[in-house]
Amino acid sequence: MGNQENSDETLEEISKETLEVQAESKDGNDDFEIIDLQKVADEEHHHHRHYSKSGHHRSHSGSHKSNAHHSSSGHHKHRHHKKKLKWWKVLLIILGVIASLVVASAIVIAVMIGKGKAGLYERSKGKTANIQSDNSVDESDGIKMKDNWITHKGKIYEYNDEILTFYVMGIDKKSVDDDSAITMGQSDANFLITLNPKTKEMNVIAINRDTMIDLVVYDYGGSYVETRRGQLALQHAYGRNDVESAEHQMNAISQLFYGIPINGYVSLKLESIPVINDSVGGVTVTCNEDLTEKNSQLYEGATVNLVGNMAYDFVQERTKTYEGARRRLERQKIYIKSFVETAKTKIKGGNLTLIYDLYNALSSYMCTNLTVDQAAYLASIAKDYKFDMNNIRSLEGETVQGERYEEFNVDDEYLQDLIVEIFYSEVDTK
């Protein structure tokens, strides 16, 4: 009975307090919640039983009654205000976490880019091309030549060690023309890409697959056999794996270009062409020769948006006519120009991860010594470089019919002029 009386007494007190709180709310003095009386009564009843067992409830009941109105009113005000503080604290914490993640991501990307740049330049540190001075400038005129200067056709040049050079090779493993070669495939497409940070120019040098070089022959165990004249495309066939073949090919190109340092290579299976092409939503070109035997839409003069395997047909098809390799190279130049312009438009339009995404998409088709950090650095600077058809060059020379296959002999004077133009800067001696 005592417990029931205490419970009724508590309900009376709580009802009175609630009416007072509601009255204050109606007067407009403050904004209060309407308390659920049954819930409060239940809580109070539980509270009462707890203290009854310990013998303290009755001794404090008078004090509890005397302060009931003030404590209840103050409690409601504080409780409402406390809820608001908690909500804002949660919001601030969320915003803080988001800001921290953004800053952390920016730092990670910056570190990747910095690391990538350092790694690329480390590969060419202290190296230059081996172009010899032609002694066309008289030092008796008071000009003091420096170690990294050369004279060429009456002018003085200095090697530009800020230039980044990359070798891109397209590998065809379907057939090997040289019976003695290991079957790692041929390098059918060969391009040197240079980036000049001083002028913000990108240049592409297209190299004929039939270019005659000092071909280094290895046996199946990787041991050196001999050096003989042979087509550039065949050098790739003499490796025991993709990496070794790519490195043999890169060394051959470097030697052809008088020892220029190459900062990185990308070896791509030609089956990757549709993947590369479709990564930018297709590439629009004008066909420079009739390829209707391969694809009815690729007639001479046709302007088409290449998608999927159509891009492969356009880039790879080699007509069975004299200098078919040279004409295919011209077609590849047309494709590269359009692809680069399309890719730059995508990057400038907000697709900043295009190169990184393409890097990942090509992983199963690609062999490269470029790291993700280095790819991130290249992606960060690519959109700032100028590029048009004038920036695509081809080596000049003469095609002759060899004993079995066509042979392209490079015009050495033109090659040296091209190397000086792209890889050197004229020195102002005035």
The answer to whether 236 and 184 have CB atoms below 8 angstroms apart is yes
Per-residue model confidence (pLDDT) at position 347: 76
Helix, strand, coil percent content, the chain, rounded in steps of 5: 50, 20, 30
| 70 pLDDT higher than 70 | no
pLDDT of 11 higher than 60: no
What pLDDT score was predicted for residue 176? 45
Question: Does pLDDT of 50 surpass 50?
Answer: no
Please choose, from the candidates 354, 358, 362, 360, the residue with its C-alpha nearest in 3D space to the C-alpha of residue 382: 354
pLDDT greater than 70 at residue 199: yes
**Domain 163-423 - what CATH class?**
alpha beta
Mean of pLDDT over the chain: 79
Q: pLDDT for 392-430, tens place per residue?
A: 999 999 999 998 889 999 999 999 999 999 999 999 877
Write down the pLDDT at residue 343: 86
Between the alpha carbon of residue 238 and those of residues 227, 228, 253, 289, 366, the distances in Å are 12, 13, 15, 33, 18
Closest C-alpha to 181, from 233, 254, 255 = 233
Convert the pLDDT of each residue in 204-217 to its tens digit: 999 999 999 999 99
Cα 41 from chain centroid (whole Å) = 66
User: Distance between CA atoms of 125 and 164, rounded to whole angstroms?
Assistant: 11
> Could you write out the DSSP letters of every residue in 350-383?
T-TTHHHHHHHHTTTTEEES--HHHHHHHHHHHT
The residue that leads in pLDDT, 386 or 29, is 386
pTM: 0.71
Confidence grade of residue 247 (pLDDT, cut at 50, 70, 90): very high
- Report residue 148's pLDDT band, with 50, 70 and 90 as the boundaries: confident
Q: What is the mean pLDDT of residues 70-90?
A: 52
Distance in angstroms (rounded) separating the CA atoms of residues 219 and 217: 7
Confidence of residue 224 (pLDDT cuts 50, 70, 90): very high
- Please, is 181 exposed, middle or buried when counting C-beta atoms within 10 Å of its C-beta (0-12, 13-18, 19+)? buried
Tens-digit pLDDT profile for residues 159-190: 999 999 999 999 998 644 444 445 789 999 99
* 374 Cβ contact list (under 8 Å, min separation 6): 116, 117, 119, 120, 264
What is the spatial distance between Cα 182 and Cα 96, in angstroms, rounded to a whole number? Answer: 59
Average pLDDT of 55-77? 43
Confidence band, pLDDT 50/70/90 cuts, at residue 372 = confident
Domain boundaries, the chain: 2-87, 163-423
pLDDT at residue 59 is higher than 60: no
Residue 292 has pLDDT above 90, yes or no: yes
Given this model, what pLDDT does residue 352 score? 62
- Tell me which residue of 192, 197, 190 sits closest to 121, measured CA to CA: 197
